[in-house]
């Protein structure tokens, strides 16, 4: 019997709470049916072919990758690209290091003597009677200051910057082959690759434009005018280091170098002294420190005795013992033409010459 209040035989099928609700949880939608691995043959197929009641369906082939597969492939591609990028780019390289190197600013000022250049048979005698009497010889005159760590650079990195700056000074101003105009490569290899085009152009097409003077990069004499009479070049000066930003170290070198010179091929000729005051500004990023190379930012040279009328951009043409500066002025400068540097010339003080 049905319960109280219910119709006989229970709730009719199709009414709320009837048979459909009982099987609602097992009703399959169309996508589920299509995905089934087994398929029932129709009645006609079973009569005709005497086939079994069901057959196995081939797996569905989807038109493309699933969303999960696409996401996985994308993540792998991003990770691979990031690994390549980090491998190529130095982790400490800053955006400043990516910029093209600024041209070196350079000036070479000849110092002309007012009287004849003093000379003597002995270079040691001239040194002893000159302001260079207390100077040290060659690289000994370029002592390294104590290397101290900065906010962003270790002690070893500071020492590397100082050592590279010293090597540049030694090679560019104390090497006899460089002084004689026979070698430039030993200086070139110490420069950051970004500066090599300017360096090469300076020697291919020298110009007194403040950018392409070989004598701004290194010291060299006209081999037809003078040669070293004594390899013991006297040097005095200092090196200073400062951290300009978190990715850059700067070294300033300020040195005075005194050379004993004589006419080429004449060992009996009197010797005279030639003085160069040279200030160089170097810049280092972490890549430069690792490779022991540098960027030359600025070069300022004062040298004499020279004649103001001579071109000092390509080679220095010293006035030797007994010679006087030619009467004349440097080549003219056109203030209406851009890109030219003003020609400069100074007077060599008598106190800078040996007292003989």
Total domains in the fold of the chain: 1
Show the domain range for 266.
102-329+342-352
From CA 188, how far away is CA 217, in angstroms rounded? 9
Q: Report yes or no: 202 and 188 within 8 Å, Cβ to Cβ.
A: no
- Whether 78 is in a domain gets the answer no
pLDDT for position 190: 97
CA-nearest of 345, 354, 355, 274 to 112 is 345
- CA 235/CA 256 separation, integer angstroms: 6
Chain-centre distance of CA 137, in angstroms? Answer: 32
68-117, pLDDT tens digit by residue?
777 888 888 888 877 776 665 544 444 444 445 689 999 999 999 999 99
Average pLDDT, stretch 14-33? 57
> Is residue 14 included in any domain, yes or no?
no
Whether residue 274 is contained in a domain is answered as: yes
pLDDT at 41: 63
Residue 166 in domain: yes
In a domain, 41, yes or no: no
Nearest to 305 by CA among 323, 290, 278, 332: 323
Q: Please indicate, yes or no, if residue 164 is contained in any of the structural domains.
A: yes
pLDDT tier at 342, thresholds 50, 70, 90: low
Please give the pLDDT value at position 269.
Answer: 94
223 domain-assigned = yes
More confident residue, 350 or 280: 280
pLDDT higher at 41 or 223: 223
Give 217-275 pLDDT, tens digit per residue: 999 999 999 999 999 999 999 999 999 899 999 999 999 999 999 999 998 999 999 99
Q: What pLDDT digit, counting tens, does each position of 132-170 carry?
A: 999 999 999 999 999 999 999 999 999 999 999 999 999
Give 327 or 61, the one with higher predicted confidence: 327
Q: Supply the pTM of this predicted model.
A: 0.71
How many H helices and E strands in the chain? 12, 10
- Cβ atoms within 10 Å of 129's Cβ, excluding its own: 16
Query: What tokens appear for 132 in the block?
Result: 């260079």
* Lowest mean pLDDT segment, chosen from 44-58, 197-211, 220-234, 241-255: 44-58
Beta bridge partners of 39: 55
pLDDT at 84: 74
> pLDDT higher for 78 or 61?
78
Contact 294, 192 (CB under 8 A): yes
What is the per-residue pLDDT for 98?
Answer: 45
**Considering the domain boundaries, does residue 225 fall inside one?**
yes
Q: How far apart are CA 256 and CA 258, in angstroms?
A: 7
Structure token digits, residue 37: 């691995």
Specify the range with the lowest mean pLDDT, choosing from 18-22, 135-139, 304-308, 337-341. 18-22
């Amino acid at each position: 019997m049905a319960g109280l209040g219910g119709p006989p035989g229970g709730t009719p099928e199709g009414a709320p709470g009837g048979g459909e609700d009982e099987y609602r949880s097992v009703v399959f939608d169309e996508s589920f049916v299509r995905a089934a691995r087994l398929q029932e043959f129709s009645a006609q197929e079973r009569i005709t072919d005497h086939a079994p009641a069901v057959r196995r369906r081939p797996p569905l082939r989807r038109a493309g990758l699933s969303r999960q597969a696409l996401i996985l492939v994308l993540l792998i591609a991003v990770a691979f690209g990031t690994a390549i990028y980090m491998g190529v780019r130095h982790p400490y390289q800053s955006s400043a290091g990516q910029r093209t190197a600024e041209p070196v600013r350079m000036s070479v000022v000849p110092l002309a003597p007012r009287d004849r250049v003093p000379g003597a048979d002995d270079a040691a005698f001239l040194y002893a009677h000159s302001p260079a009497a207390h100077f040290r010889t060659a690289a000994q005159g370029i002592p390294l200051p104590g290397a101290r760590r900065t906010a962003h650079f270790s002690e070893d990195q500071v020492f590397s910057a100082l050592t590279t700056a010293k090597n540049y000074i030694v090679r560019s101003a104390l090497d006899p082959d460089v002084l004689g105009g026979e070698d430039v490569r030993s200086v070139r290899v110490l420069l950051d690759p970004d500066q090599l085009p300017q360096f090469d152009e300076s020697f291919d097409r020298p110009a007194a434009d403040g950018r392409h003077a070989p004598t701004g990069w290194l010291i060299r004499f006209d081999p037809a005018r003078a040669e070293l009479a004594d390899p013991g070049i006297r040097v005095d000066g200092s090196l200073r280091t400062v951290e300009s930003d978190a990715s850059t170290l700067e070294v300033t070198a300020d040195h005075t170098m005194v050379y004993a010179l004589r006419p080429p091929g004449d060992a009996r000729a009197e010797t005279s002294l030639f003085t160069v005051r040279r200030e160089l500004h170097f810049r280092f990023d972490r890549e430069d420190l690792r490779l022991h190379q540098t960027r030359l930012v600025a070069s300022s040279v004062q040298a004499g005795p020279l004649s103001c009328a001579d071109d000092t951009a390509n080679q220095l043409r010293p006035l030797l013992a007994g010679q006087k500066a030619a009467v004349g002025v440097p080549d003219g400068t056109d203030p209406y033409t851009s890109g030219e540097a003003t020609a400069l010339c100074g007077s060599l003080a008598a106190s800078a010459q040996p007292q003989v």
